[in-house]
């Protein structure tokens, strides 16, 4: 199956823009409360985040975001999972990748009020390490 260069370039950008805060569904990390304890499993506690795209650098092939907690929970993330799909919505497993960019999002002090922002810079837009025949 052949994939064009434009699919590998345009699709991740489109997915990032459409997913908005859903980009963090691929974050690997642990939630922490202000007291540095992990909520009980199944407690229903979820980190609510606000993500602001700061810059997309097409020449360098990366982007930067700013993340704030909007509730009393924080996040210790170890990176991002990249999942690519073709135009028919079928996952392209050979393009799946993980990038380790650890970052911490501190809890806010009031529900609904943004906590201190965390900047995550130089996140790759795509990976070009798989050759197709």
**Residue by residue, what is the 3-state secondary structure of the chain?**
CCCCHHHHHHHHHHHHHHHHHHHHHHEEEEEECCCCCCCCCCCCCCCCEEEEEEEEECCCCEEEEEEEECCCCEEEEEEEEECCECCCCCECHHHCEEECCCEEECCCCCCCCCCCCEEEEEEECCCCCCCCC
**Is 80 contained in some domain?**
yes
Give the residue with greater pLDDT, 70 vs 38.
Answer: 70
pTM: 0.59
Place of tokens 């900047």: 119
73, 29 contact by CB (below 8 A): no
**Is 85 contained in some domain?**
yes
**Is 133 contained in some domain?**
no
Q: How many CA atoms lie within 13 A of 35 on its CB side?
A: 3
**Is 131 contained in some domain?**
no
64, 119 contact by CB (below 8 A): yes
**Is 130 contained in some domain?**
no
Query: Which pLDDT value is given to residue 105?
Result: 93
Q: Which pLDDT band, with edges at 50, 70 and 90, does 117 fall under?
A: very high
What's the mean pLDDT when you consider all of the chain?
Answer: 74
Query: Which pLDDT value is given to residue 96?
Result: 85
Residue 102: is its pLDDT beyond 60?
A: yes
Number of structural domains found in the chain: 1
Provide the residue range defining the domain that includes 42: 5-124
- Residues β-bridged to residue 118: 67
pLDDT, one tens digit per residue, over 66-92 is 999 998 999 899 988 888 888 999 998
Q: Which pLDDT band, with edges at 50, 70 and 90, does 22 fall under?
A: very low
**Is 115 contained in some domain?**
yes
């Amino acid at each position: 199956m052949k994939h064009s260069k434009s699919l590998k370039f345009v699709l991740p950008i489109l997915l990032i823009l459409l997913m908005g805060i859903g980009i963090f569904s691929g974050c690997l990390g642990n939630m922490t409360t202000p007291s540095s304890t992990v909520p009980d499993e199944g407690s229903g506690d979820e980190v609510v985040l606000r993500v602001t795209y700061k810059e997309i650098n097409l020449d360098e092939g990366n982007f930067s975001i700013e993340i704030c907690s909007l509730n009393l929970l924080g996040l210790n993330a170890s990176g991002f999972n990249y999942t690519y799909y073709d135009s028919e919505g079928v996952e392209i497993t050979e393009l799946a990748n993980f990038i380790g960019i650890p970052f911490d999002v501190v809890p806010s002090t009031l529900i609904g009020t943004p906590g201190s922002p965390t900047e995550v810079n130089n996140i790759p837009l795509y990976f070009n390490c798989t050759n197709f025949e």
